[in-house]
Amino acid sequence: MVSAAEMLSVAAFLENKHAQAFPSFGSERMGAPVMAFCRIADKEIRLREPVMQPDLLIIQDPTLLHQVDLFSGVPADGYILINSTRSFDALGLGDFCLGLRHERLCTVPASELALKHVGRALPNAALLGGFAALTEVVKLESVFAAIRQKFPEKIAEGNCAAAQAAYDLVLAEKVAAKLGGMVAEQKLAAQNA
């Protein structure tokens, strides 16, 4: 997770943005919940408090969903990306999603994509690919460049492939959600008429 925030900050930097990535410094033990933060801006970032109201939340480990209050501070128009093969409904988040913008909520099987393309279930790169598709805050090419800075060539290429696959999936999901939303709106409009 810390590496994901770091790579995201590098991707933003490569687009001439200012970015600040830092981990939450919890218990240093395997298996403990870990958070990392990234701020991206067009000017110097001076703020040093933890991110308490994220515009986007990436959940790397969905087993935390019902253990820790992960969503506190996420605004109604926020983005949420979850590493899972299941949908928001299947994850038991159907009710939670009411009132949120559906095209900004996505799940992506990042661990499975990493297993397929990298050989290990390390979902960072795939989640960043998904992030690029979902928010368009950074370009996929910048995510690739950040991955290539971080890893040796062979591992980097696997991670880039995972990021590309996640990007494609999230883009398709986003389009579907938008279409779904439009259909729903049309239905509503027809009813109202």
Residues 22 to 51 in contact with another protein, rule: CB under 8 A: 22-23, 25, 28, 45-50
Per-residue binder mask for another protein (CB under 8 A), 116-145, x = binder:
------------------------------
Sign, Cα dihedral of 94, 96, 173, 109: negative
Separation in Å, CA 93 to CA 55, 86, 161, 178, 191:
19, 11, 29, 19, 28
Per-residue binder mask for another protein (CB under 8 A), 49-88, x = binder:
xx-x------------------------------------
Tokens of 61: 């480990």
Only one of the segments 13-21, 54-62, 134-142, 165-173 lies at the binding site for another protein (rule: CB under 8 A); that segment is: 13-21
Decide whether 18 or 102 has the Cβ nearer to another protein.
18
Neighbouring residues of 171: CB distance < 8 A, sequence distance ≥ 6: 133
Pairing type for strands 105-108 and 79-83 reads parallel
| Shortest distance in whole angstroms from residue 36 CB to another protein | 10
End-to-end CA distance of the chain: 49
Residues that bind another protein (CB under 8 A): 5-6, 9-10, 13-14, 18-23, 25, 28, 45-50, 52
